Structure 1
Amino acid sequence: MDMYQWYLLPAALMLAMLWLMDMEWIYDVLNSPIANLPGPWYTVLTDAILRYSAVTGTKVIYVDNLHNKYGPIVRIGRKEISLRDPSVTRKVYSVKGEFPKADFYDKILTGTPNVFNTRDIETHRHYRRLLSSGIAESSLSTYLPVIETKARMAIQRMRDEAQTRRAAKSQYIRDLETVNRLGGIRVTFPFLVQLGHYVPIPFIKAAIENRRRTVEYAEQSVSRHYRIVEEQGEDARPTLLSKLYKAGDDGMSFDEVRSNAMAYVIAGSDTTANTLTYIIWTVCKRPEIKSSLLEELQKLPENYEYVDLKPLHYLNLVIEEALRLYPAAPAGLPREIPAGGTDLFGYYIPAGYTVNIGAFSMHRNPSVFPNPENFDPLRWNSPTKAMKESFVPFGGGSRSKFWTIPV
């Protein structure tokens, strides 16, 4: 064999490998068990469009448009399906865990598991048992004076910015934008996040730095709480962490407490901030809604408290409608098809595939919510069964209810 032929050998081996890979890909495409599902032809071949929409922050719109075209069940990727129908919500999000969380959750918050991203049912039950009392409404009511003070500070800050800039866009909102972009990249192209640690990609660097600050804040808060308890024997102002500290060996390790604290910071603050931002924005855009809301609010006593706000009918309708049209968690929260497969809308889906139910699409289903793009608080005066079953602003099942009260 001459030198020229030796040079050709690596190229031939590479071509052979590519050919084998192509043959495997072609076999998967031709034998895909979800090829008969409604959906664009290209979703059988590639996830490229889905990944692009995730990175650009348009995935929920892309998927919703597919539902409008193809119906309640849509193939959105080679191994991914989206559903939009109230009849399947309870089945997929059952507390029995028949549809376990997908590996998506391993990517969004890496490191030590927490109550939000753990895929192990027993671990989740253990965390939930330790954490649930701390977010019960009776427990949260002890923090109302602090919450009211912070709310007034936020209102004053918005007022000051509106007067000086004619608009209020806080650094928090800017940080939230970059963190959200990182979330899409972390799940879709995880290697880019790792690359961002070494290569100066501006928006990835900014998002990584925001996440680092969140981790640092959680760690400092946990350490401060432990130090106070060690010095004083008990925290003068009980917190969510108090029960964890007292639980001893039946509780959590420091890393577990830190991970759950970080999850609370992200899941509790961003969802609340998003909802409040959209409520303020949409009310200010609609004079008739603003007028009705102010009419109700003006009946409050001068030094009103949370107990005075809670029974306000129209205010609650506005909040419900804001959560419908602008849900805090709009994207699908993926679940895995269980062993043995399942039937959905007359189609058999084998194990190993991923199914999504996205709040953005569920809340815009015209057969459930007439004129879905119209912000109409009064639609919640007499909600139908289908409306209640379709309303999933924080996902479905017991895990979603875990976040509803604090938000």
Structure 2
Amino acid sequence: MAIITTLVHALPTPSPTTATLLLPAITLLILALYRLHLHPLSHVPGPPLAALTSLWLYWHSYRGTEARVIDALHGRYGALVRIAPGEIDVSRGEALAAVYGGAKKGGGFRKAACYRNFDIEGHQSIFSAVDPAHRAPRAKAVVGLFFYLPNWVFVAVEALAMRFNVEKHDVESSIGTVVSFVTEIVEEAEKDERKDTYPGRLLEAGFTKDETSAQCLDLIFAGTDSTGMNLATACWWLAKKPEVYELLREEILANSDADPQTMPYLSAVIKETLRISMANPTRLPRVVPSQGWNFESTFIPPGTIVGLSPFTLHFNPDVFPCPDEFLPERWREPTAEMLRDHIPFGLGSRACIARNLATVELYLGLREVVRSGVLEGATCVQDKIEILDWFNSRVVGEKIELEWV
């Protein structure tokens, strides 16, 4: 102690300018040492830069490489990877039930605060709400509609489609058309005594017109990109693999009057499409509850953000052999692990509320495309479909293209 005191007195007193410059540097150094060696997550492996700052994760998210980069890190570090100072990504399907709840109602961890970025006009949507108590009455009001959907939703979509100028691709005017359409159907629902529509049920449950409009916009925007991506991907693979197309067309033509959801090969094609399409490839973040969480002998402290991504699960060769290949036949006798890890619509009580609608759209849409014969002679323009893996993915080049020669 005497030596330290002597050294302190021997050192020159820094000038105010020097002290001002040194203080932030020392603070950052101490913070870095803490996050690397003393933080409650310091025992979880991962890139040192990710442990130091969330900028590492933000950068890969911005570039559209988040899912692929994190998936590669699992090959280096294992099932648990630290991807930010307070965040962990998990690669093992065994964690799904604990994190998302599986089939257990009300199970799983709460959504992370980042979902609030999906609020619409200041309103928490059924998708973006973090608090289950806030979401529950809104979801309860409309969830029943998704079990008998084709009747009203396709009429509504057709009416909306008629308002677009097919000669132009003006995003701003298209969004304006959607907003105008939603405003009108909410106004009509308020006047209609029958409350059997999406806006009607929300209004009847006591929610304001503004919030009802926001919920309707959320429903429309949430399903547009993903459904289009999935259907386009299915058509691309059918053009790429004519043997699959022929088997599917044979089944559809032989059962033209049957419910498409009863066709086994069509079901296999759709399941494989949802596995490989990657419309929503990135993590589904949740917050570890107050008691913490143990996964494979590793304790994860409360407040940690954890998540699993469809990208990592769907392309795991241990569960889906030859994961980059489009193989509908794999679904003829799926393993328990395949069924567990196939999560195109999420999982648990916070899974996509419109998953039934999305599935019906795929069944009906793909059946009609194949039955029409429009894919006869089609070939793929791209060698492969490359995506930017954002939450809602984007195709590099903005197009999935076929050509007829």
Normalising to structure 2: TM-score of the pair?
Answer: 0.75
Q: Is the 8 A contact 2:82 2:88 kept in 1?
A: yes
Of residues 227, 242, 259, the one that matches 1:272 is 227
SS of 2:81's partner is strand
Of residues 389, 393, 397, the one that matches 2:340 is 389
**What residue is the counterpart of 1:123 in the other structure?**
134
Q: Is the 8 A contact 1:97 1:121 kept in 2?
A: no
**What residue is the counterpart of 2:249 in the other structure?**
294
Deviation at 1:267, TM superposition (A): 1.6
Distance 1:130 1:144 in 2: 16
Of residues 145, 148, 153, the one that matches 1:134 is 145
Q: How does 1:183-332 map to 2 (within 5 A)?
A: 214=175, 216-217=176-177, 219-229=179-189, 233-234=192-193, 239-245=197-203, 247=204, 250-301=205-256, 308-332=259-283
Cα deviation code 1:167-226 (max 9, x no counterpart): xxx959xx6xxxxxxxxxxxxxxxxxxxxxxxxxxxxxxxxx69xx64x55543343124
**Is the alpha carbon distance of 1:144 and 1:114 closer, same or farther for their aligned partners in structure 2, counting shifts above 3 Å?**
closer
**Is the alpha carbon distance of 1:269 and 1:101 closer, same or farther for their aligned partners in structure 2, counting shifts above 3 Å?**
same
Distance 1:115 1:144 in 2: 18
Q: Is the 8 A contact 2:285 2:308 kept in 1?
A: yes
SS of 1:74's partner is strand
Distance 2:83 2:189 in 1: 51
Distance 2:216 2:340 in 1: 30
Answering whether residue 58 of structure 2 is matched by residue 107 of structure 1, we say no
Deviation at 1:336, TM superposition (A): 0.7
Q: How does 1:50-89 map to 2 (within 5 A)?
A: 50-89=57-96
Q: Equivalent pairs: percent with the same residue?
A: 29
Q: How many residues align?
A: 337
Deviation at 1:353, TM superposition (A): 1.3
Q: Is the 8 A contact 1:225 1:241 kept in 2?
A: yes
**What residue is the counterpart of 1:195 in the other structure?**
none
Q: Is the 8 A contact 2:190 2:200 kept in 1?
A: no
Measured on the aligned residues, the alpha-carbon RMSD in Å equals 2.9
Of residues 27, 30, 44, the one that matches 2:37 is 30
Cα deviation code 1:27-69 (max 9, x no counterpart): 2322122222232343323334322211011111111111233
Deviation at 1:258, TM superposition (A): 1.9
Q: Is the 8 A contact 1:92 1:99 kept in 2?
A: yes
Deviation at 1:239, TM superposition (A): 2.8
Distance 1:148 1:131 in 2: 18
SS of 1:405's partner is helix
**What residue is the counterpart of 1:44 in the other structure?**
51
Letter in 2 for 1:43: A
Deviation at 1:148, TM superposition (A): 9.7
Answering whether residue 360 of structure 2 is matched by residue 350 of structure 1, we say no
Deviation at 1:346, TM superposition (A): 1.4
More displaced stretch, 20-29 vs 326-335 = 20-29
Unaligned ranges ≥5, structure 1 = 1-7, 162-169, 176-208
Letter in 2 for 1:58: T
**Is the alpha carbon distance of 1:217 and 1:261 closer, same or farther for their aligned partners in structure 2, counting shifts above 3 Å?**
farther
SS of 2:334's partner is coil
Q: Is the 8 A contact 2:189 2:197 kept in 1?
A: no
Distance 1:171 1:56 in 2: 25
Higher helix share: 1
